[in-house]
Amino acid sequence: MRILISNDDGYLAPGINALADALASIAEIIVVAPDSNRSGASNSLSLDRPLTVTRAANGFYFVNGTPTDCVHIALTGMGDAPPDLVVSGINNGQNMGDDTLYSGTVAAATEAYLFGIPAIAFSQVNHGWEHLDAAARVARDVVQRRFDMLPSPYLLNVNIPNLPYEAIGALTPTRLGRRHQAEPVIRSQDPRGREIFWIGAPGACRDAGEGTDFHATSHGMVSITPLQVDLTHKTQLALLAQGLA
Ligand code: MN
């Protein structure tokens, strides 16, 4: 099996190094990741400048672009046969509910999915890399599971609680929860007196009920959510068609 690995925290992040170590024992791996932290990059492509691919001493490739750039270049510009699977992460912090729309971690996996390759995004629920070794073992377990019940390609979003391996619960199928709207921006001043803004924290959970990713991980389970890309609101499409008839 050949696995392409990317992330949004950058090629030097502990999460991608732990993931690559864990998967190297079960697959042939290639790592192509951003040169710096591009968390929050969502599905953006860099269209206004050229991109470079550089090989680091450990064999990882880093790109001066976004997570989506990395997977796009790896799949269309780096020769070789396409990988059997693309994995992204392990992210420093959760990607659940509305986070998935902003996440570069999920976006890297989504780019592979759009190219017809099955993909899995991995995130640790809390920031700070606590029990990263356990999360990497869980990620390897998940990769080794057969998802033959799903048509290929599939796009899976996995969130892993920061717990010791033995304390981590079962792999639990979930739907995305919902958050309240994000906290307001934080206004400040730069050293020259100009007004500046920091994007604030994500909103608190609004729908964290049973069956959601928030619910599963708060009970120590590993959340696994199958995602799709079609944003069409099917109910409203029907209403619109009816109303405009
Ligand atoms: Mn990140």
The CA 7 to ligand 1 mean position distance, Å, reads 7
The CA 193 to ligand 1 mean position distance, Å, reads 31
The CA 123 to ligand 1 mean position distance, Å, reads 8
pLDDT of 170 > 80? The answer is yes
Classify residue 189: in a domain, yes or no: no
The answer to whether 222 touches 170, Cβ cutoff 8 Å, is yes
Local structure of 124: helix, strand or coil: strand
For the residues 119-126, what does the mean pLDDT come to?
A: 98
Q: How many domains does the chain have?
A: 1
pLDDT of 131 > 90? The answer is yes
The answer to whether 198 touches 183, Cβ cutoff 8 Å, is no
Range of the domain at 72: 2-177+206-244
The answer to whether 111 touches 76, Cβ cutoff 8 Å, is no
Nearby residues for ligand 1 (ion, Cβ within 5 Å):
8-9, 39, 91
Classify residue 188: in a domain, yes or no: no
Classify residue 239: in a domain, yes or no: yes
Return mean pLDDT, the chain. 97
* pTM for this prediction: 0.96
Classify residue 24: in a domain, yes or no: yes
The CA 109 to ligand 1 mean position distance, Å, reads 13
Count Cβ atoms below 10 Å from residue 204 Cβ, excluding itself. 11
For strands 28-34 and 61-63, give the pairing: parallel
Count Cβ atoms below 10 Å from residue 81 Cβ, excluding itself. 6
Classify residue 26: in a domain, yes or no: yes
For the residues 38-45, what does the mean pLDDT come to?
A: 97
Classify residue 116: in a domain, yes or no: yes
Classify residue 195: in a domain, yes or no: no
The CA 39 to ligand 1 mean position distance, Å, reads 4
Output the domain CATH number for residue 132. 3.40.1210.10
